Amino acid sequence: MYRDFVHDEWTSFLEEMYEYGSKRWSYLVPGEQEDRSRLRHLCARTLAFENHYLERYRVYLTQQLRSHDPDAALAATRQLQIIIYPDQETATTP
């Protein structure tokens, strides 16, 4: 689904994470050394992806705040009360 709708530099990472984490390892820590090495590599990249996602989500929420749809603006406001961004840019956006 990510490939169909977003298809960016993180697509292959997410496909690999799904293939190994879900399908091959069934969300368990693998026992084989080679698989553990792959898991460490995936984990090392995860924070960067999370930050990428949160930045894209912030842009989306900011757009929703500015929309003329009061329900969308309210939903965005609620999400921004949950997510703590490291700067005040989002908090001061009208």
> The whole model's pTM is what?
0.79
Q: Give me the residue spans of the domains in the chain.
A: 1-82
pLDDT digits (tens, 9 = 90+) for 9-58: 999 999 999 999 999 999 999 999 999 999 999 999 999 999 999 999 99
Say if CB 76 and CB 58 are below 8 A apart.
no
